[in-house]
Structures are given as C-alpha cells and as structure tokens.
Structure 1
Amino acid sequence: MPDHSQQDRLSGTLLDRRYRIQRRLATGGTASVYVGLDERLDRPVALKIIHGHYAHDPKFVERAQREAKAAARLHHPNVVAVLDQGHTEDGVVYLVLEYVDGPTLRQVIARESPMTARRALELLIPVLRGLAQAHRSGMVHRDIKPENVLLTTGGDVKVADFGLMRAVDEHTSTSSTILGTVAYAAPELVGHEPVDQRCDVYAVGIMTYEMLTGSRPYTGTALQVATSHVSRDVPAPSRTSHGIPGSLDEFVLRCTARDPRARPADAAALLDLALAIQRSLPPVIDSASLDQPTDLIPPSDETQSLPRSAPAYRTVPAAGILPREDLDATRTVAITAAGSTAHRTPEQPRVMLNPQPEPLHLAIGAVLFVLSLALAGFLGWWLASGPGTAAATVPDVSGVPVATAERTLDAAGISNVGVHTATNAQIPAGSVIATDPGASSQVRGIEQVVLVVSEGPAQLDVPLFEGMSLDEARNAISQAGFSVGAVQSRFSEEPEGTVVEQQPASGSKAEEGSAVGLTVATASPTEEVPNVVGQTVDSARESLEELGFTVEVNRPVGSTLDRVIHQREDGDTVILTVF
C-alpha cells in the first residue's frame, strides 16, 4: 500500500479499545484506508473506515458485513486477508485487513513498463492464483486494477479489496457500478448486464496489456473509454510494443473478447494458460558465460523502434553453436525480442548471421545507429524528467464543485482530467463523488485522473402500489428505492386498509429516496365534514367526495351562480344548497 501519510480527525483514535489509527494512506469513493496497530496482538494492520453516508445506511452496513464475512473465509497467500470487522457505537464502520508494506502494481507499472514477457508473467501469475481461489469460492471481484494489486517489500503479490464491491454495487445505482474502474471494465459491466467471473478475466487482460505496453488500450474521457470497451476490440499489445511473444498477444485478446463466452471461464483457466506461456519462454542466457564467439547483428528496422530498455545491438551465438534446426539453407536466423528462434512467425524478419557489409550499408547503419541513440536519449529525458511527467499526488476533492476540483488538480500538477458522471443521493449534483485514481495516489502528470461527478439522485420509475394492503405497499416502496410518505384515509368501497391512491402516480419518475404518499380505504368517512359554503358547487363536490362523502345538490329554480349557500349532513351524505 502506498505510504502517503496524512493526518485527519481519526488519526490517533482507538477503535473498539483495540485498533489504534495511526495515519491515512488513501481515500476512495467508499472508504478511507489507514495504517493502524492492533494493540492486543501488537501488529500493524490496515484499517478501512467506511465513509459516513454509507455507514449510516443500515442496509449497506448489513450487506458490507455479509461480504466481509465471505472475504474473511478466503484464505490464500496471494489475497489480502480480512482479519476483523466492527461497528462502533458512534457509527464508525470498519474492516481490519492484513497490512501490505510495499508498492501497488500501479507504481510498479509506472517504474518498469513496458515490461518483458517474463516480468509481466512473474507478477501476473500470483494475481491469478489468488483470483482463482476467489472464483472457486463463488466470488467475483468486479474491480481488478493495478491499484488493487499490492506487493510486499519481499516481492510477494496480493490481490486487495475483496468484500465490499458487491455491497457497493447493490447500494448504488447501476450507472455508478463502474465507478473508478471504467479503464478495466468489461463490456457487460459498462452495459449493466449480468456479470460473472469473466468480468474479472477481462480486467486481467486490460491490466496485462498495460504491463506489456506501459499504456491502456483506450484513452479519453471516461465515457469515451466505456464506449470503446463496448464497441471496439482491444488491439494486440505487439502493435504498440515490440518484442511481445505471439502467445501473450493471444492471451490478452482471449481475455478481452467482448463476448464473455469467448473468454476463459475463470481465473483458474487463465492461470493454466499463463503457466503454459511461461514454460514456453526461452531460457535466459548469460552470454558472458559462453566461451564461444558471438556475432554482432546490426539493428534492423524493427530493433530501431524497440523501447529504450532494449539494446541497440544484440548478440547471438555464432553459427557453430546454434542448434542445427535454427538455421536454414541461407544460413539465416529469426530475430525476436528475446534473441530466440523459438516462436518465429512468418512476418518476423530474418537476417544473415555473417552478412557481408557494403559501404553504403555501413553508412546507413551508422546514421541509423546515431539516430537511435538520439531517440533513446530523448525518450529517456521525456520519461524521466520531461514536461508533464513529474510525479503528482492526487488531492482530495470529494464534495467540491467540479470546476473547483479541476483547478485544484491543475494546481497539483495534473492537467489531464476526465469527467464521469454517476447518480448519488448524498452528493449534490455537479459536485465530485471521488477520483480515479483515488485521493493521495501518485500519478505522472501526463496520466489521466477521472473526476466522478454526481448527477444527483437517480430518477426511478414509480411502480403501482394501488390495490396492495398498507403493509405490502410499505415494503414495496422500500424495495423500489423510495420512502413512505404521508398516509391518509378515505372512504371507499374497496376493502378497508387497501391503497386506493398514490402520489406520485405509477408510471411516473421520481428521485431515489423520495417519499410516496398513500391513501387507504376506510369503511366509513373518518373526517369531519368541511365547511364548503361559498365555494363553487364543482369544487365543493370534489373535496367532499375525496373524503368519502356522498354529495347531493339542491338547486332552487333560478339559481345561476352555482355557489354553495348552505350545507347539511344526513349520515354519510352532505346536501348542498346552491344559489
């Protein structure tokens, strides 16, 4: 977990007389994460403190606790362990997690990408081992991304953030279920379709692409990226970065198939594929340990465009020590990024082992070599200290208007800002719910930070509650995402206690959480007869009948104003005299 110390009101407090909150690591849309100390066992822990507007929702708390219990049963060395959960008397809901003392995969990608196939698999296989255990337990993570993969200082890899994702999905509207994860969201998540373990497989594919190339397949605003996931096929990583084996291209393309049925069924199937690719990679050869001479191969067009980390010249064993089957009648050998002939495809170049250079070729080669050194130097300057690449810390802009948030990010050195909207009943429309990456995360200046901006409460369809009993209507209103408003009684021939009217009417739309008023039937009028003298006859009739009374009109000959000048009651009947 990244160590970005930040003090706030919770730092230094003690939860449930056991967990001492020490410093904040990060803040996200659902919770803040702190380093803490378990004073009973004298060990460091990570404390995830749920934000107040979630913590005060009993339904969310119940679901979160249920999911945390499921995650606590997930024991695997490549999964961050859930150690405890609690709910204090003053309303603080928290999870206690295993503390991981190293960087996130996001930080490793920023430092090492584009990665070699071997390094990418070295990090990916432990992720798949942990995820496979979760999938076997029937769990779906739904938010696989580099920020949720943590490394210990010893190099162990662990998947984090199991346990709350489904509770958040159920608590929020469908348009916010991809909050903060659009860059890795499977098409079915973007389209709000049913999901299973294959949505995690898709996210692993996007993450693998980023590890191999140093960039994500789609850029732009959150809406543009989400649209690309649904409408476009992810390209092979080798189109962006040279030296990637065809087997890893195929791995990424299978993971990111838009049709879930075309992907591996779960992380266990994906793990088998990754292990097979790892076994197929050529062994690493230490050329210094070879006594045989080697030939220098001048850089080809392909090697000129290799990443800065690739050498401009490669050495391969001289013809006398190459396996016989690697040479053909022209004494040529395929060049791959690893210097191996193991996976040559027809389009890969072949070069002479002992070419006879011509003067023009030597001159061109020298020019290209100088240009490659200049390009490498430029890329090194750009990646290390060029404009827009300096590290920046994402500020906490939750709850502030979007224009203010954009100015705050710009002042922090972050100019590439995207906006994604989501419904939210707690945050006012136009204000920021959260950022992706979350507050306190480290990003390069050229990396995009997405502001998740509230659209206000969701507009929901109002179901039909009329005809239900009052208890049935109350339950149905709650399940539909509304609250029960005023309940009135009115005389009706319907069975007593039956809902005879609702407001707003069925088929209309209303804000999530807004009140639905009900009118229920009674066997006889329960209201006192209002005084309607002076009203028009139509207005008087309407108000009396609404209360359940029967209205009779006595209209003397010659009356033309239609005004009530007198009223009297006869049981449930009101007799109006009109002038």
Structure 2
Amino acid sequence: MQADRRGQSRAGAQARPTVTDHDPLLGRTLDGRYRITSRIARGGMAGVYEATDLRLDRTVAVKVMHSGMGGGGGGLGDDSAYVARFVREARAAARLSHPHVVSVYDQGEDGGSPYLVMELVPGHTLRDTITSQSPMAPRRALALLEPVLAALAAAHRAGLVHRDIKPENVLISDEGAIKVADFGLARAVTADTQHTSTGVLIGTVSYIAPEIVTEGRADARADVYSAGILLYELLTGRKPHEGETPIQVAYKHVHEDVAPPSRLVPALPPYVDALVARATARDPGLRPADAGVLLRQVQRVGSALAAGMRDDEELTADLALPARVTDDTTPERWDQPLDLHDDRTRAVSRPTRAPAPLRAPVAAPVAAPASARRRRGPLKVALAVLLVAAIAGAALWFGYLRYTSTPGVLGLTQAAAQSRLKAAGLDVEVGRPAYSDTVAAGRVLRTSPSPGDRVLDGGTVTVVLSKGVEQYQVPDLAGRTVDQAQDALLGIKMTYGKAVKRWSETVPAGQVIRTDPAAGATLRPGTSVDVWVSKGRRPIEVADWTGKSLDRARPALEGAGLTVETDSRYDDDVPEGRVISQSPDSGTLYKGDTVSLVVSRGPQLVEIPGGLRGMGVDAATGRLEDLGFKVETAKTDHYLGLGFVWSSDPDSGKKIPKGSTITLYLV
C-alpha cells in the first residue's frame, strides 16, 4: 500500500485525518503482532494504516475493514461467509508474486474486523499523476499503463481478477516503480456482495465494467475494461462517463459507448482511438481476452507511436471493433430509462429472471416415544458414560498430549535454529530460501509451523532462510542491441526505462553506449534503468572556405573535429594568407576526416639584378625578361643615341613581383 508524505488520498480513501480526529485503532496491536502507528487513509470500505511488524521488525501497511459495511445491519466482518471468502482470496493474492504487484504478507481478524498486511510503498498514486500531468502524450500514457497491464496479466494467468482497477489502486514509488494494489480484496468483496441490501453498488463506478453492473459477474475482461477507462483518462484528463449520481454513471457504462479520446485530443492517431474502443467495448466478447492480450496490443500501438506514424491502417483495422448489429428481439433490452427514484432499483435493473422452482419440504426426524426411552436400563447408561470417557481421553491424547509448541528460531543462523529445534525433539527441513528486506542473509526468515504454533511431537519444522535483500547488479550492456538490453534487464526483474539516443564515434548505430544507473550498480527489482543508444557517428557538414583567411578556416574546421592539411603557393590574384582551393569543398564528413587547403603566398618577388648600367639595351632587356619581368625603354634628358642603359626604374637590388614592368633609361 501507499505511504504519502503529503497526506493525500490513498487507495480510494479520504485525506489523512487531522490530529484531532479520533481513531480507536491508533496505538493498538493487531493479533499481538502489528502495532498501528498512524493512519494513511480512510475510505468507505476500509482504513489503511502504517504499522510495525513486531515479529519481523519492519514497517508495513495494514488495511482494516470497517464494521457496519455489510447488509442486514452487520459489517462485512460480521458475515462469516464473507470472512471465509476474504481469507480465501487473500491467500490467493499472497501467492501472486510480481514486481508490479503490491505484495500481501499476511491476513487475519481482530475484533471482528478482517485485515490485510501488505507491502508499504512510499510515494504517490496514479491519481496524483493524472491530476498534475493529464492530458498527457500517448507514449507517456502507454508507458504508465504497461506495468499495470503486466501485473494484471500475471494475475489473470494465476486465475485472479482484480475487479477494482482505478488510479487510486496504482501506486508509484519514489523510485518510479509502478505497483497495483488490492488484488484479492475486490474479489472477496464482490463475489457475493456486489449489491447491498440498499442497492448501493460496491466498487468504483467510474471504472466498472457493464457486466458487473448488469449481472454482478466479472472475469479478466472486466479488468481489461477498467484498464481501457484508465487509458482514456490518461489521454484526456477526464473520465468518459460522468453523472450526478453513481447510478447515472453506471447506467452510461451499460448504455453508452466510450467516445473516441480524439474528440477531446484531436492530435491522437486513429489506432489509439481503436485501442481504447477495443478495450472498453460494452460486449465482453469484443474485448481482449485478458490483460496479456491487451498488453501486446498496447505494445504494438507504442511501437507505431515511437516510429512517429500518424496513421497505420493495418493496426487500426486489427484493433477496430466490428460493425454493430442491432436486434430488437434481443431477450435482454436496455432501451428503457431507469426510475432513479424507485427505492427498489439496484445499480441498474437487470432483466427479470424466472423464479426458482419450489422444493418439497424436508421431513423432520421423528423423536422416539417417551415410553421407549424409559425402558433403557442402568446398564446402557453406564456403558454410555464409559464410552464418553474413552472418547474424551482419546481426544485429550491426540489433541494435546502428542503436540508441542514450535520453538521460536526467527533470526537465528541455520545451525543455531537446527540445534534448538532438535533439542525440542523436532526434525528440521530446510526449505527454499527467500528474499527479505529485514532479515540478514543466512538467518531464519520464517518457519512452518510458525513460532508458537502446535506441531506433532517428533514432527518436522520447515525452516526458510533469508537470501537477504533482493537486488541485482546492472549488467554491462555496452555494445548490445536495444532488444538484447531489454531482455537482459527483464531477466533480472528491472524495468527498461527510456532510450536516450546519442551520437558516438566508437559505438555503431543501434548499439548501447551505457546505462543510467551505470553497469555494476546494485538495484532493487522493478527499478527503472535508462539506456543510452548510439545514433552512430555525428555527421559534419563541410563549409567552403575558398577565398577566406586561413586564420578563420583552420579553427572552424578543427573545432568541428576535422583534421586540416595545408599547402601554399604563389598566386598573383589571391592575397597572401587566403585559401586558394579546398578539398573537399562541400558534403558530409565525420570526426577525424581530413580537409586539404591550398593557401596563397601572394605573388612571387624577384630581385632586379645589378650591373644593368652601361649594358646595351638589348642585353639588359634579355636579362630582365629571362627573370620574368616586362621591359620598357625611355630616353634620358641627355640622350646621345648610343643605346646604352643609364638607369632603371625600379633600381637594381629591389624585389618586385614577377611579371612587373621595369623601365630602362637610355643614353
């Protein structure tokens, strides 16, 4: 059951009472074992309390049925048939072991009120999540519903029907584990007491299946219907059927189909509408046969949502209900309105059944005549007295003298427990060990018979040793596929959380990079583990840096993870330090790939040679042209027509770009 530090409603109960609210159970110890410490919640059917198990020294939740619940003026606890049924169903629920089911530890009766002892789950309920987060995205809604369906599927395989699936019975721990509460209790209440003598429907009418209303019967498909209503509420934030009274709501369950949730949330894909319609079909025969079938359908819808499919005609067709056929000759008609003011009306009037056939009265035994009794003599009386004494002696011998009490060995080591039990004349059998949150590994967790219970003198006591706290190490999933990771986590009773996709330079796409919590971390069953999944190498779009400065191009390319290689050459057109060419100059690369840049050194400079003065114009011109210069000639002011070089512009010894023009002045 749920323990909520905020004191909000739990398991259909009212808010936690104030300090001044008197509760006679507070401070009591039930059956000398469970000391009630505080009240968690109180509802119309039961109160839920936090208690200490004095025998095992652990904190538990105890649900105690109220007095005055049953018909005929007495409480359900006053009805011996109900109590027997309650015990039977509680034992069946206790055998249901599943990571998404609240464990039932014990059952008993104290002061005429039956009670259940259950696992205490610190956290909140799904009702709180719906209140704060709905309407929610369909993938989020299905993620919350899947653990509920997994729990119901396990119950249905075991032959158990919950009958009261609602947000208040879905508990979410502080670690995020989702557990379903109250297995067995709803069946015990509703098996033969679906309607009280005043016509009040027992159960949560907003989620109740039509066949429970009309016929008082329920199988696995009733839980499927309730789960479908729960999904509708997660998607829309509203219940599909509402009314001023519970009877009006129950009437709508019987007469009105659940509207498509897309009417309130238009963005929902058609296959989500089809899933809700299939689960909430008023005809049980049209629903999934059990929660396991619905779970597989939910997983198909979840896969379509994960793939981003706006519509999937095949999936929608698979989930869609067949066209409705109306037959006015149907024996049971529901087209007449209820008389809501008739005190004789039950939750919904069911069709009139033929009266049970009359049976002949059974004849009472005829007493012997008084005269015959008087003829019995003293001898017969004496024999009768002896016979009674013999029977009493045998009963004393077989009932008490051959029995002894089971010694208390809880918490002892196996050797110490065996020694104590053998000293009491008892044989010891070691049963299969079990996990325990409170008893250290290797110590005695429980015995059968329990300590203090009667056991035949010389009989056998089965000792169950603790395996310690059930916990597992997160496996190293690096390099595995997502499917392999899911299988590995389910194999150690952990919950596959969410897939976080990340780029990786070393892990191929689709394989696991790491987990959170990390590999090697020790976790409790049901803990959610997130998985980081590789999207492969991050692509890098290459920009063209031609004509731009190398001082800008290199940091940008290397910052993106690329390797830059450079070469340089003279270029008369591209300024020094700028990129002449790039390879590749576009496209997609990956970290570590190489980009080659050719960088300009500017134009090539050539030194004007000396010794030109006094050279003939032809010789000087030839020498300069050989060096790549262009040559022009001009006359000096004192030109004599000799054809010799007097000077040059630029002068000898200067460096100028190759291809530049040099002027020779002649005399």
TM-score by length of 1: 0.50
Deviations 1:52-99 (A, max 9, x none): 2122222211110000000000000101110011223x3342110011
**Partner-residue secondary structure (3-state), 2:159:** coil
Task: Give unpaired runs (5+ residues) of structure 1.
Answer: 284-339, 347-419, 424-428, 430-451, 454-459, 471-494, 498-521, 525-579
Deviation for aligned residue 1:462: 9.3
1:227 maps to 251
Q: Does 1:210 align with 2:225?
A: no
Write the mapping of 1:414-493 to structure 2, written as runs, cut at 5 A.
464=358, 467-470=361-364
Q: Verify the 8 A CA contact 1:5 1:23 in the aligned structure 2.
A: no
Q: Verify the 8 A CA contact 2:16 2:42 in the aligned structure 1.
A: no
Q: Verify the 8 A CA contact 1:135 1:267 in the aligned structure 2.
A: yes
Deviation for aligned residue 1:207: 0.7
Write the mapping of 1:289-328 to structure 2, written as runs, cut at 5 A.
none
Q: Does 1:161 align with 2:186?
A: no
1:45 maps to 60
Cα separation, 2, equivalents of 1:151 and 1:207:
15
Q: Verify the 8 A CA contact 1:179 1:422 in the aligned structure 2.
A: no
Cα separation, 2, equivalents of 1:282 and 1:206:
23
Q: Which residue among 135, 140, 159 is the counterpart of 2:161? A: 140
Distance 1:463 1:87, change over 3 A: farther
Distance 1:193 1:16, change over 3 A: closer
Q: Which residue among 32, 39, 44 is the counterpart of 1:17? A: 32
Deviations 1:517-555 (A, max 9, x none): xxxxx999xxxxxxxxxxxxxxxxxxxxxxxxxxxxxxx
1:247 maps to 271
Q: What residue identity is the alignment partner of 1:40? A: R
Cα separation, 1, equivalents of 2:163 and 2:342:
17
Deviation for aligned residue 1:468: 1.5
Cα separation, 2, equivalents of 1:421 and 1:85:
40
Distance 1:223 1:41, change over 3 A: same
1:343 maps to 310
Deviations 1:250-290 (A, max 9, x none): 1100001111111110000011111122222236xxxxxxx
Cα separation, 2, equivalents of 1:177 and 1:275:
37
Cα separation, 1, equivalents of 2:89 and 2:121:
21
1:566 maps to none
Q: Verify the 8 A CA contact 2:242 2:249 in the aligned structure 1.
A: yes
Q: What residue identity is the alignment partner of 2:232? A: Y
Deviation for aligned residue 1:241: 1.4
Q: Verify the 8 A CA contact 1:201 1:270 in the aligned structure 2.
A: yes
Q: What residue identity is the alignment partner of 1:80? A: V
Q: Which residue among 51, 58, 62 is the counterpart of 2:80? A: 58
Q: Which residue among 173, 179, 182 is the counterpart of 2:202? A: 179
Deviations 1:210-238 (A, max 9, x none): 11000011111222221211112111101
Q: Which residue among 81, 84, 87 is the counterpart of 2:109? A: 87
Q: Verify the 8 A CA contact 1:125 1:271 in the aligned structure 2.
A: yes
Q: Which residue among 241, 257, 269 is the counterpart of 2:293? A: 269
Q: What residue identity is the alignment partner of 1:259? A: D
Deviations 1:397-416 (A, max 9, x none): xxxxxxxxxxxxxxxxxxxx
Deviation for aligned residue 1:461: 7.9
Q: Verify the 8 A CA contact 2:194 2:202 in the aligned structure 1.
A: no
Distance 1:155 1:421, change over 3 A: farther
Deviation for aligned residue 1:464: 4.6
Q: What residue identity is the alignment partner of 2:252? A: S
**Partner-residue secondary structure (3-state), 1:61:** helix
Cα separation, 2, equivalents of 1:159 and 1:421:
37
Distance 1:158 1:177, change over 3 A: farther
User: Which structure's CA Rg is the greater one?
Assistant: 2
Task: Give unpaired runs (5+ residues) of structure 2.
Answer: 8-14, 68-74, 314-339, 348-353, 371-667
Q: Which residue among 186, 189, 196 is the counterpart of 2:212? A: 189
1:305 maps to none
Deviation for aligned residue 1:103: 1.1
Deviation for aligned residue 1:245: 2.5
Q: Verify the 8 A CA contact 1:205 1:255 in the aligned structure 2.
A: yes
**Partner-residue secondary structure (3-state), 2:35:** strand
Q: Verify the 8 A CA contact 2:304 2:312 in the aligned structure 1.
A: no
Q: What residue identity is the alignment partner of 1:272? A: R
Q: What residue identity is the alignment partner of 2:44? A: G
**Partner-residue secondary structure (3-state), 2:121:** coil
Q: What residue identity is the alignment partner of 1:215? A: R
Cα separation, 1, equivalents of 2:357 and 2:35:
47
**Partner-residue secondary structure (3-state), 2:306:** coil
Cα separation, 2, equivalents of 1:104 and 1:225:
23
Q: Among all aligned residue pairs of Structure 1 and Structure 2, give the percentage whose two residues are the same amino acid.
A: 48
Q: Which residue among 108, 120, 130 is the counterpart of 2:151? A: 130
**Partner-residue secondary structure (3-state), 2:191:** helix
Deviation for aligned residue 1:421: 9.9
TM-score by length of 2: 0.44
Deviation for aligned residue 1:174: 3.7
2:222 maps to 199
* Higher RCO (Cα < 8 Å, 6 or more apart): 1
Q: What value does the CA root-mean-square deviation take over the aligned residues?
A: 3.2
Distance 1:28 1:523, change over 3 A: farther
Cα separation, 2, equivalents of 1:209 and 1:18:
42
Q: What residue identity is the alignment partner of 1:63? A: R
Q: Which residue among 91, 106, 110 is the counterpart of 1:69? A: 91
Cα separation, 2, equivalents of 1:219 and 1:87:
37
Q: What residue identity is the alignment partner of 2:188? A: A
